Amino acid sequence: MIKEYICIVCPRGCRVNVDENLNVSGNQCQRGKTYALNEMKSPTRILTTTIKTTFQDMPRVSCKTDKAIPKSLLFAAMKIINQMTIDKSMYIGDIVIENILDTGANVVLTKSIKESTNEEIYFSD
Amino acid sequence: MYDYIIIGAGVIGSAVARELSKYQVKVLCLEKENDVANVQTLANSAIIHAGHNPEPGSLKARLSLWGNLLYDDLERELNIPLLRTGAFVVAHGKEEEKDLDKYVKICKENKVPGYQLLSGQQARKIERNLAGSITKVLSLPSTKVTNPWEVAFALMENAIENGVKLKLNHRVTKIIKENDFYLVEVNHHINFKTKNIINAGGVASDDIGQMIEIPPFKIKGRKGEYYVLDKRNIGFINHVIYPLPSERGKGVLLTPQVHGEILIGPSSEFVDDKHQASTTQKGLEYVKEHSKELAKNIPYNQIIRSFAGIRSTSTYDDFYIQESKYNKGFYYLGGIESPGLTAAPAIAKYLINDVIGVQNHYLINNQFKPYRKAKVEFHRLPLNDQKRLLEIEPKYGKIICKCEKITEKEIIDAIHGLLGTHTIKGIKKRVRAGAGICQGGYCEEKVMKILARELNLDPLDIIYDKDNSKLFLSESKVEK
Amino acid sequence: MIDCIVIGGGAGGLAAAIEIKRLGHNVLLIEREDKLGGILNQCIHNGFGLEIFKEEYTGPEYADKYIKLFLREKINYLIDTTVIDLYKEEDIFIVKTSSETLGIREYKSKSICLSTGSYERTRGQISIPGDRPYGVITAGSAQRYINIDGYMTGKRVFILGSGDIGLIMARRMTLEGAKVLGVAEIMPYSNGLNRNIVQCLNDFDIPLYLSHTVTNIKADDSNHLKEIRVMKVDDSFNVIKDTEIDFQVDTLLLSVGLIPDIILLDQLDVEIDPLTKSVKVDQSNQTSIEGLFVCGNALQIHDLVDNVSKESQRTGKAIDLYLRNTNHSNKKISFIPGVNIAYLTPQYIDFSNPNEKVVVSFRPKKKIEKSLLKVIQNDRIVYEKKKMFLLPAEMETIELDILHFDENQPITLELEVIS
């Protein structure tokens, strides 16, 4: 079976084919080959989403995995994150979930959450 | 026991309600929708016609000529918006000019004030964007435009202040005639007793008649589709521009609106389902095509919205404003299509004074208050007034709809007013939040939050217009 | 008297304000929301900052970087404050603001930097026929509802338009448990970045229907979206018969373009470019009104926030020069988009300050694999460069040296397709 990938390394957007013996075709440069093989063997993604909070004026706060995690684990990771609720002040970069699903990636906040003014949010760290 | 039950709270039902409140009568108005002015009144051209079209001698002619004058009173008493635009009926070439003469004759017979003929050139001096192919113009200086639902709100609010009761979400499901009164069943389970019924049911007026007799007319839905041009094109045309009328009605028009937009339309098409007002590719293309005969270079890239409305054309040739021939005390207001908005205040007076003769049976309500306070349109006030109001109410300082400059206080007032609302669309109808160029893209979320806060509702229960048209299906991250 | 009032506290306004302040002027920034950062706050996905920070950030993180810089500069700012009027009296700009805490105020300023972003094209502007139910919503509004407020508009979703926000929302709603049934794009190519096609659609097996559009919308009894009809279009965008596909959905997201928000300039008689739907500017992003500068999405729609920051920083530098030079000569010639150019900025080149590079931004009209970009003046090619893989979805920038041009003749930019 041949799988087709659109290479996103550069704007050219080559359609790269990889067959079951890992022969790569359609790429116009070496980076495209690496990209396609990687996508075939172990595609990973950074997951970005939100977490529930108890703060009235900010019912959701944004977060991400600090490393890319296997694509196949995105929904499982969502399930874990969706069960969390943040009920205290936290800052951008703070770890909310350590080593999620044993991926080695932590879920970190991408925004600070605190009931206070702009200055306090940005300068208390 | 009510003296009168009015079925329908469109502009006609509202005008009748206010007229009745001038007497010592007990009046109830039943509306199936969750807001006043939600059907025909919400989707039409908003014109107070001069009277060049209706057959001389018809009720349409008589009541629209009279209605046009009464709007000046409504403006003074109820603070409705009114723009004195005048109108041009345009003719292209000799053939159409002959047709135009027919309407000159009608103007003469209907005693339309101030009408005159202009050459194409003269007209283009006044309206520079008029199509070059136009050779002759019938000018109608007494044409005006208003905002139909604001008129209905004003009439109904004033009626309520003078004692009329209004019940929304009350759909009449059955009417039973007893000896000397009617039993009106609503939503299949509530009953109201009344001596008289006024059927202002618009597109459903024949169905309501059907509940007690074979109605004297059938309503056929005639759909009209429109484009709305952004208000930044204000001045593109300043008059209402009509083509020559045809068997399909007054045709596609250009109509400047009181808040600055320009309406283009309507198309005209009989439809099977008179309750279904959806736009169609065909209808909108028809509008676009025909509008070219009126003006050149219409900036179609500045359309902000399109919509459709249903007109209730009846099988009877004229307005049908009569008591039932079989059921005493049951009155029809049927086939009220264009010029129905124009005629509305006159229709109410004609029905009350001439057809029913309320004055012969009931005393005048000496407490009647004809005036209604204007709502605050904050951004239109002079700076001094704004500053004075801000000292009392800082929420006038918080802009929610930036396109129309609508403040939080105006929205709060719309929620809690005499005709309060709990819907996003209701806010838009009352204060224009979301009616501007971004069409609520910026303010809908803010309006949603204000509604939730003011009415102590969960945002999950906030609705767009009809009950159950909820904005949200669920919270995110919560299994449902 | 304030040197410069910056209107808008998003990516553009922050970068401009920081630059102007650093160059020694007093600045007031006005933001209508209760937080700085603008639309970045709701763009929780990553992909921001690669150009400027060489690192990949999410929208809120990118905003955070600039907000911290902004606050360290101790720049004056107002939040929860809307500008309701902007006009010029002689050489002074008057900015009228409204807020709950301060009421109506007037501020006077020598210059204005307008960075008010853009708004989304709506259903009304593209006139999709059918019923008018709730559930047809712009992608950006849905993004705010889901990411900031935590509400889902629906669970069965279709997306019209392959703009980046639509693609991002396809992934976002899928991750939150919705079923996204497809994306329809009227053009024969995607309007979003390749990366988003791959990571937002392909990753989740969401089909992309190119040369397709939504031709009808149906409501249920409570006026909520029930069904849409999608049809194929031909080269002139007319629908092709018998190509209907009906989708039962409760949400139709519209991602059909952004329009620069320059509503505030309505009172000013400023020259407009119908191609960008914004103002015409010279290379310092100054409009036809002296002292009025525009940057960010209010000037032209960007696909990368990094470019907004850079452009706004440049605008800040230009405002500094404007404030220092009391003598503003205007020696402008037109810069005209030629063959295969959808639009370009700046639309004028000002020769009163010849020692500078001109940064030109443009988009091609169509997808072009290989092209020769030519800058032509007086039938003479002044500048020429090979350009590969140009897409309408990706804004291009080039730098021109002003010294190469004659000060009196209009200049044209064009793309010649080569094989």
**Neighbouring C-beta atoms of residue C318, cutoff 10 Å:** 26
Q: CA-CA distance, B452 to C98, in Å (whole number)?
A: 24
Tell me if B441 and C122 make a contact (CB, 8 A cut-off): yes
CATH for B2-41+149-219+315-360 (3.40.50.1980, 3.40.50.1100, 3.50.50.60, 3.30.470.20) = 3.50.50.60
Chain A partners of B477 at a C-beta cutoff of 8 Å? 50-52, 60, 82
User: What SS3 state is found at B8?
Assistant: coil
Q: Are residues C223 and C105 in the same domain?
A: no
Interface list for C 235-264 with B (CB within 8 A): 239, 250, 261, 263
Q: Are residues A54 and A24 in the same domain?
A: no
User: What SS3 state is found at B401?
Assistant: strand
Minimal Cα–Cα distance from A53 to chain B, Å? 11
- Least CB–CB distance from C194: residue in A13, A64, A119: A13
- Least CB–CB distance from B437: residue in C82, C133, C263: C263
Once rounded to an integer, what is the mean pLDDT over residues B333-339? 94
Place of tokens 């506290």: C9
Q: Which residues pair with residue B226 across a beta bridge?
A: B307
Given this model, what pLDDT does residue B112 score? 97
- Tokens (6 digits) for B68: 């046009």
Tell me if C124 and B472 make a contact (CB, 8 A cut-off): no
Tell me: pLDDT of B480 over 60: no
Tell me if C149 and B459 make a contact (CB, 8 A cut-off): yes
Given this model, what pLDDT does residue B35 score? 96
**Ramachandran assignment for B196, one of left (phi > 0), alpha (psi -120 to 50 degrees), beta (any other):** beta
Query: Could you tell me what percent of chain C has a pLDDT over 90?
Result: 85
Q: Are residues C252 and C267 in the same domain?
A: no
Q: How many residues in chain A?
A: 125
Tell me if A45 and C203 make a contact (CB, 8 A cut-off): yes
How many domains does one find in chain A? Answer: 2
Minimal Cα–Cα distance from B409 to chain A, Å? 20
CA-CA distances (angstroms) from residue B355 to B27, B175, B320, B326, B358?
17, 22, 11, 15, 9
Tell me: pLDDT of A4 over 90: no
Task: Give the sign of the dihedral formed by CA C266, CA C272, CA C277, CA C282.
Answer: negative
Q: CA-CA distance, B472 to C154, in Å (whole number)?
A: 7
Nearest CA in chain C to A93: C61
Q: Are residues C322 and C339 in the same domain?
A: no
Give the mean pLDDT of chain C.
Answer: 94
Once rounded to an integer, what is the mean pLDDT over residues C351-370? 86
Q: Are residues C108 and C133 in the same domain?
A: no
- Tokens (6 digits) for C317: 């530098």
Q: CA-CA distance, C260 to C297, in Å (whole number)?
A: 6
Amino acid making up residue A98? E
Interface list for C 134-153 with B (CB within 8 A): 134, 138, 140-141, 144-146, 149-153
Amino acid making up residue C226? K
Residue with the bigger pLDDT between A100 and B374: it is: A100
Q: CA-CA distance, B321 to C256, in Å (whole number)?
A: 49
Minimal Cα–Cα distance from B288 to chain C, Å? 12
**Residue A82 contacts B, CB cutoff 8 Å:** yes
Name the band, by pLDDT with cuts 50, 70 and 90, for residue B152: very high
Once rounded to an integer, what is the mean pLDDT over residues B184-197? 96
**Residue A76 contacts C, CB cutoff 8 Å:** no
Closest CA to C401 of C339, C355, C370: C355
pLDDT in tens, C119-161: 999 988 888 999 999 999 999 999 999 999 999 999 999 999 9
Q: Are residues A105 and A70 in the same domain?
A: yes
Task: Give the sign of the dihedral formed by CA B209, CA B215, CA B217, CA B222.
Answer: positive
Tell me if C60 and A12 make a contact (CB, 8 A cut-off): no
> What's the CATH number where A74 sits?
3.10.530.10
Domain hosting C380: range is 329-418
Closest CA to C366 of C387, C341, C337, C398: C341
Once rounded to an integer, what is the mean pLDDT over residues C75-101? 95
Tell me: pLDDT of A125 over 50: no
Given this model, what pLDDT does residue A15 score? 86
Q: Which residues pair with residue B136 across a beta bridge?
A: B91, B119
Residue with the bigger pLDDT between B422 and A117: it is: B422
Chain C partners of A110 at a C-beta cutoff of 8 Å? 44, 57-58, 60-61
Asked if B462 contacts B456 with a C-beta cutoff of 8 angstroms, the reply is no
- Tokens (6 digits) for A28: 């116009």
- Tokens (6 digits) for B367: 């407490």
Tell me if A122 and C148 make a contact (CB, 8 A cut-off): no
Name the band, by pLDDT with cuts 50, 70 and 90, for residue C357: confident
Q: Are residues C16 and C73 in the same domain?
A: yes
CA-CA distances (angstroms) from residue C145 to B4, B232, B474, B476?
46, 29, 11, 9
pLDDT in tens, C240-273: 999 999 999 999 999 999 999 999 998 899 999 9
- Across the B:C interface, residue pairs with CB atoms under 8 Å apart total 138
- Tokens (6 digits) for A17: 């084919």
Closest CA to B377 of B441, B432, B417, B434: B432
Once rounded to an integer, what is the mean pLDDT over residues B49-57? 95
Give the DSSP letter of residue C303: S
Can you state the percent helix, strand and coil of chain B, rounding each to 5? Answer: 35, 25, 40
Q: Are residues A36 and A59 in the same domain?
A: no
Given this model, what pLDDT does residue B142 score? 98
**Residue A114 contacts B, CB cutoff 8 Å:** no
Name the band, by pLDDT with cuts 50, 70 and 90, for residue B248: low
Chain C partners of B442 at a C-beta cutoff of 8 Å? 119
Task: Give the sign of the dihedral formed by CA B250, CA B38, CA C159, CA C167.
Answer: positive
Closest CA to C114 of C296, C361, C384, C332: C296
Q: Are residues C337 and C236 in the same domain?
A: no
Amino acid making up residue C10? G
**Neighbouring C-beta atoms of residue C15, cutoff 10 Å:** 28
Residue C169 backbone phi and psi in degrees, to 5: -70, -25
**Ramachandran assignment for B477, one of left (phi > 0), alpha (psi -120 to 50 degrees), beta (any other):** left
Tell me if C150 and A59 make a contact (CB, 8 A cut-off): yes
Name the band, by pLDDT with cuts 50, 70 and 90, for residue C329: low
Q: Are residues A12 and A61 in the same domain?
A: no
Q: Which residues pair with residue A53 across a beta bridge?
A: A86
Tell me: pLDDT of C353 over 60: yes
- Least CB–CB distance from A74: residue in C61, C68, C175: C175
Given this model, what pLDDT does residue C43 score? 97
Helix (H) or strand (E) holding B444: helix B444-455
Amino acid making up residue A15? R
Q: Are residues A26 and A52 in the same domain?
A: no
Task: For an interface test with C, give the residue of B284, B473, B475, B479 to mutate (most C CBs within 10 A).
Answer: B473
Task: For an interface test with A, give the residue of B477, B478, B479, B480 to mutate (most A CBs within 10 A).
Answer: B477
Q: CA-CA distance, B400 to C80, in Å (whole number)?
A: 10
Asked if residue A114 is part of any domain, the answer here is no
pLDDT in tens, B381-403: 999 999 999 999 999 999 999 99
**Residue C32 contacts B, CB cutoff 8 Å:** yes
Task: For an interface test with A, give the residue of C194, C200, C363, C386 to mutate (most A CBs within 10 A).
Answer: C194
Given this model, what pLDDT does residue C351 score? 85
Most confident of B10-14, C365-369, C399-403: B10-14
How many domains does one find in chain C? Answer: 3
Chain B partners of C141 at a C-beta cutoff of 8 Å? 441, 444-445
Tell me: pLDDT of C14 over 50: yes
CA-CA distances (angstroms) from residue C278 to A69, B286, C262, C265, C372?
42, 31, 7, 10, 27
User: What SS3 state is found at C99?
Assistant: strand
Minimal Cα–Cα distance from B341 to chain C, Å? 24
Residue with the bigger pLDDT between C230 and C352: it is: C230
- Tokens (6 digits) for C292: 């009025």
The region of weakest confidence among C134-143, C274-283, C330-339 is: C330-339
Q: Are residues C135 and C150 in the same domain?
A: yes
Q: Are residues A26 and A59 in the same domain?
A: no
Asked if C341 contacts C413 with a C-beta cutoff of 8 angstroms, the reply is yes
Helix (H) or strand (E) holding B289: helix B281-291
Tell me: pLDDT of C361 over 50: yes
Asked if B53 contacts B68 with a C-beta cutoff of 8 angstroms, the reply is no
Asked if residue A123 is part of any domain, the answer here is no
Chain B partners of C131 at a C-beta cutoff of 8 Å? 276, 278
Tell me: pLDDT of C371 over 50: yes
Q: Are residues A14 and A61 in the same domain?
A: no
Q: CA-CA distance, C188 to C226, in Å (whole number)?
A: 27
Q: Are residues A33 and A66 in the same domain?
A: no
Q: Is B111 exposed, middle or buried (0-12, 13-18, 19+ CB in 10 A)?
A: exposed
Strands C332-337 and C411-417, bridge-based pairing: parallel
**Residue B188 contacts A, CB cutoff 8 Å:** no
Tell me: pLDDT of A120 over 50: no
Given this model, what pLDDT does residue B343 score? 98
Given this model, what pLDDT does residue C189 score? 87
Once rounded to an integer, what is the mean pLDDT over residues C19-47? 96
Q: CA-CA distance, B273 to C165, in Å (whole number)?
A: 38
Q: CA-CA distance, C206 to C335, in Å (whole number)?
A: 42
* Chain C interface, Cβ < 8 Å to A: 35-36, 41, 44-46, 56-61, 64, 67-68, 71, 79, 146-150, 172, 175-176, 194-195, 197-199, 202-203, 388-389, 391, 394
Tell me if B387 and C104 make a contact (CB, 8 A cut-off): yes
Q: Are residues A30 and A83 in the same domain?
A: no
> How many angstroms from the chain centroid is the CA of residue B205?
17
Give the mean pLDDT of chain B.
Answer: 95
Homologous superfamily (CATH) for B87-141+221-311:
D-Amino Acid Oxidase, subunit A, domain 2 (3.30.9.10)
Once rounded to an integer, what is the mean pLDDT over residues B114-131? 96
Q: CA-CA distance, C243 to C209, in Å (whole number)?
A: 12
Give the mean pLDDT of chain A.
Answer: 89
Task: For an interface test with C, give the residue of A61, A118, A119, A125 to mutate (most C CBs within 10 A).
Answer: A118
Given this model, what pLDDT does residue B400 score? 97
Q: CA-CA distance, C146 to C169, in Å (whole number)?
A: 10
- B neighbour chains, 3+ CB pairs within 8 Å: A, C
Got the DSSP string for B127-140? STTB-TT--EEEEE
Q: Are residues C265 and C252 in the same domain?
A: no
Give the DSSP letter of residue B440: T
Q: Are residues A34 and A60 in the same domain?
A: no
Closest CA to B132 of B244, B295, B298: B295
- Least CB–CB distance from C198: residue in A8, A50, A122: A8
Q: CA-CA distance, C339 to C373, in Å (whole number)?
A: 10
Tell me if C129 and B278 make a contact (CB, 8 A cut-off): yes
Chain A partners of C44 at a C-beta cutoff of 8 Å? 48-50, 62, 64, 110
Q: Give yes or no: B49 in active site.
A: yes
Tell me if B394 and C129 make a contact (CB, 8 A cut-off): no
Nearest CA in chain C to B445: C145
Domain hosting A94: range is 48-109
Q: Which residues pair with residue A49 across a beta bridge?
A: A63
Of C233, C256, C279, the position where a domain reaches its end is C256
Chain C partners of A111 at a C-beta cutoff of 8 Å? 41, 60-61, 64
Once rounded to an integer, what is the mean pLDDT over residues C113-121? 96
Q: CA-CA distance, B159 to B152, in Å (whole number)?
A: 10
Helix (H) or strand (E) holding B196: strand B190-199
Of C304, C326, C348, the position where a domain reaches its end is C326
Helix (H) or strand (E) holding B454: helix B444-455
Give the DSSP letter of residue B23: B
Q: Are residues C95 and C7 in the same domain?
A: yes
Asked if B378 contacts C84 with a C-beta cutoff of 8 angstroms, the reply is no
Given this model, what pLDDT does residue C126 score? 86
The CATH class that applies to domain B378-461 reads: mainly alpha
Task: Give the sign of the dihedral formed by CA B354, CA B356, CA B360, CA B364.
Answer: negative
Q: Are residues A37 and A52 in the same domain?
A: no
> What's the CATH number where C14 sits?
3.50.50.60
Tell me: pLDDT of A118 over 70: no
Q: How many residues in chain B?
A: 480
Given this model, what pLDDT does residue A123 score? 46
Minimal Cα–Cα distance from B193 to chain C, Å? 30
Task: For an interface test with C, give the residue of B264, B399, B443 to mutate (most C CBs within 10 A).
Answer: B399
Q: CA-CA distance, B347 to B331, in Å (whole number)?
A: 12
Tell me: pLDDT of C358 over 80: yes
Given this model, what pLDDT does residue A115 score? 67
Domain(s) labelled CATH 1.10.10 in chain B stretch across: 378-461
Q: Are residues A21 and A60 in the same domain?
A: no
Residue A30 backbone phi and psi in degrees, to 5: -65, -35
Given this model, what pLDDT does residue C55 score? 92
Tell me if B476 and C131 make a contact (CB, 8 A cut-off): no
Asked if residue A119 is part of any domain, the answer here is no
- Tokens (6 digits) for A106: 């932590």
